[in-house]
Amino acid sequence: MNIETAGFGALVIVAIMALVTLATRWGGVYVMAFVPIGYRVKQFIGAMSGSVLVALLAPMALEGDTAARLALLTTAVTMLVLKKPLPAIAAGVLAAAAFRQFGL
């Protein structure tokens, strides 16, 4: 099912996002009142939260133009070296900008 983003639809989308997020903020506490969350479930949740980001990024890196790939590469390397997200994001964006301004 698709929701139109024009007019009222966008607000519905935000409301759905808010409810889903609220369910995650309350769900852990709620479930713990009945059964402790087990080791396997914790492993699944932990692995899934990182994987969803990777799943979003993979096609972006594969289908993106050279500037996009350069930006992602720069962010990854800067993040590995400095371990600080802000400079890493800034470096990636700058790399894309530089490539497009003076680009090939």
Distance in Å, CB of 33 to another protein, minimum: 7
60 in contact with another protein (CB under 8 A): yes
Q: How far is the CB of 104 from another protein (least distance, A)?
A: 15
Q: Do 67 and 99 form a contact (C-beta atoms < 8 A)?
A: yes
Q: Which of 34, 66, 71, 104: binder of another protein (CB under 8 A)?
A: 71
CA geometry: angle 81, 87, 89, nearest 5 deg = 100
Site residues for another protein, 21-40, by CB under 8 A, read 21-33, 36-37, 39-40
Reference 73, options 49, 92, 99; nearest CA is: 92
